[in-house]
């Protein structure tokens, strides 16, 4: 472990005063001491700024007008000095030895280290699973290869990433067109600048509550529409970067990402009038989803079968029957016990 490495933890906050203190405390209580904590308040109208000023010189505060996620990231990064950068959402928090474990495996060739996050609710109750969901390991090594052949890779939300400062110098400031998706911008581009390492142990907590922009505590057509629009933007960004670097991109790359197809069919079924892709048809998305599962995914055959049935059910069943199945995919804590037991039993059988 190189104790000379400086780690900058940049907390971006907007109107999360009820969670903010826990996020800040989790960074100040790290067992690795060579850190700096920067808290960017992006125009909050609640009690956030009073909480921030109460920490005095233990943190570096940035109080700015509301400019959305990219503006908060840009301000925080410009102020930071760290060799390693962690962007922590203010409704999430880190475990005490998170930074220590990151530094222990850090190498200069790495573009980032990502790590799992346990999922908790608004009251900090453990919901029994981690992000990302499932038992598949986080992507490692030359992850850019997975991006240009499959359109995605297994990674974590914003708070589960420790990024190398050197590539960030090339990527910042984040353009205003990604003001709402700065995390996706970084997740897509950073792997092109070095290898990726992973820690499978949860080093932080990802909180699901009613006001999350991305987490699905309830099914909302508007959220899936937002997912689809951002997926289209991320895909265009990926193709642009790969082309700049001289990599060939398969013509069906967009249809290879199972996550994108999940969002597309959910958006279409829940609100076909406002679905962002007018030409989409349920039958086509079902076909593309099943094709992606069996041709491109790394799931075992049991999961491929389950998810194939999921696509058929969501694509063709009446909406009142499709809606709960959509919910169960994204929010496992809402699954009936018999379904959770069946999934766990399958995992046990396939790992034995």
Q: Are 98 and 235 within one domain?
A: no
Q: Are 16 and 156 within one domain?
A: yes
Instruction: Look up residue 228 and give its two tokens.
Output: 């689809």
Give whole-number Cα distances, 29 to 96, 118, 173, 339, in Å: 6, 19, 29, 39
pTM of the model: 0.85
Handedness of CA 182, 42, 160, 265 (dihedral sign): negative
Query: Between the CA atoms of 88, 94, 100 and 106, what dihedral angle is there, to the nearest 10 degrees?
Result: -40
C-alpha 74/C-alpha 87 separation (Å) is 11
- Helix extents (H) in 6-130: 17-28, 48-53, 68-79, 98-105
The DSSP secondary-structure symbol of 335 reads: S
Closest C-alpha among 234, 182, 187, 237 to residue 213: 182
Q: Are 226 and 332 within one domain?
A: yes
Q: Are 173 and 236 within one domain?
A: no
- Condensed to tens digits (0 to 9), the pLDDT of residues 190-218 reads 999 999 999 999 999 999 876 554 444 56
179 three-state secondary structure: coil
pLDDT at 144: 95
- Specify if 214 maps to a domain: no
pLDDT at 38: 98
pLDDT at 47: 95
- Specify if 2 maps to a domain: no
Q: Are 84 and 204 within one domain?
A: yes
C-alpha 275/C-alpha 295 separation (Å) is 27
Q: With beta carbons less than 8 A apart as the criterion, state whether 148 and 240 touch.
A: no
Domain end residue (candidates: 183, 208, 233): 208
- Specify if 12 maps to a domain: yes
- Specify if 216 maps to a domain: no
C-alpha 154/C-alpha 76 separation (Å) is 26
C-alpha 206/C-alpha 130 separation (Å) is 8
Domain end residue (candidates: 181, 208, 235): 208
Q: Are 204 and 231 within one domain?
A: no
pLDDT at 261: 94
- Specify if 1 maps to a domain: no
Q: Are 21 and 126 within one domain?
A: yes
Query: Between the CA atoms of 317, 321, 326 and 328, what dihedral angle is there, to the nearest 10 degrees?
Result: -130
pLDDT at 3: 60
Where the chain has pLDDT below 70, the residues are 1-3, 210-218, 331-352
Q: Are 202 and 264 within one domain?
A: no
- Specify if 97 maps to a domain: yes
- Helix H or strand E segment including 329: helix 319-330
- Specify if 213 maps to a domain: no
Closest C-alpha among 156, 162, 84 to residue 116: 156
Q: Are 139 and 71 within one domain?
A: yes
* CATH number of residue 49's parent domain: 3.90.550.10
Instruction: Look up residue 26 and give its two tokens.
Output: 């989790």
C-alpha 137/C-alpha 347 separation (Å) is 14
- Specify if 68 maps to a domain: yes
Q: Are 200 and 254 within one domain?
A: no
Instruction: State the residue range of the domain holding 36.
Output: 7-208
Domain end residue (candidates: 185, 208, 231): 208
pLDDT at 211: 53
pLDDT at 352: 44
Q: Are 276 and 190 within one domain?
A: no
Residue in the structure block whose two tokens are 């000023």: 53
Total of domains in the chain: 2
pLDDT at 124: 80
Q: With beta carbons less than 8 A apart as the criterion, state whether 208 and 102 touch.
A: no
Q: Are 135 and 61 within one domain?
A: yes
- Helix H or strand E segment including 316: helix 301-316
């Amino acid at each position: 472990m190189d104790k000379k490495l400086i780690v900058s933890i940049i907390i971006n906050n907007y109107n999360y005063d009820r969670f903010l203190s826990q996020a800040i405390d989790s960074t100040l209580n790290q067992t690795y001491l060579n850190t700096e904590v920067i808290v960017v308040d992006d125009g909050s109208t609640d009690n956030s700024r009073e909480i921030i000023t109460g920490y005095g010189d233990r943190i570096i505060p940035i109080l700015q007008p509301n400019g959305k996620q990219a503006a908060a990231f840009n301000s925080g990064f410009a102020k930071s000095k760290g060799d390693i950068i962690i962007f922590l959402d203010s409704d999430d928090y880190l475990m005490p030895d998170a930074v220590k474990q990151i530094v222990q495996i850090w190498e200069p060739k790495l573009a980032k280290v990502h790590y799992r996050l346990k999922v908790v609710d608004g009251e900090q109750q453990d919901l029994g699973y981690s992000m990302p969901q499932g038992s598949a390991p986080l992507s490692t090594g030359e992850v850019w290869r997975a991006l240009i052949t499959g359109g995605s890779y297994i990674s974590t939300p914003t708070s589960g990433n420790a990024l190398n400062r050197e590539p960030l110098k090339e990527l910042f400031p984040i353009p205003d067109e990604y003001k709402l998706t700065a995390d996706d911008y970084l997740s897509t581009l950073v792997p092109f600048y070095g290898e990726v390492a992973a820690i499978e142990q949860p080093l932080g907590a990802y909180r699901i509550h009613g006001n999350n922009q991305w987490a699905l505590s309830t099914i909302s057509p508007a959220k899936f529409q937002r997912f689809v629009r951002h997926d289209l933007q991320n895909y265009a960004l990926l193709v642009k970067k790969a082309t700049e670097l001289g990599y060939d991109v398969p013509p069906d790359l967009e249809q290879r990402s199972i996550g994108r197809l999940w969002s597309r069919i959910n958006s279409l079924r829940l609100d076909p009038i406002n679905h962002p892709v007018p030409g989409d048809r349920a039958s086509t998305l079902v076909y593309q989803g099943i094709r992606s599962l069996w041709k491109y995914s790394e799931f075992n055959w049991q999961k491929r079968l389950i998810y194939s049935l999921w696509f058929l059910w969501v694509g063709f069943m009446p909406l009142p029957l499709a809606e709960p199945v959509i919910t169960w995919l994204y929010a496992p804590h809402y699954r009936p016990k018999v379904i959770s037991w069946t999934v766990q039993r399958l995992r046990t059988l396939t790992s034995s």
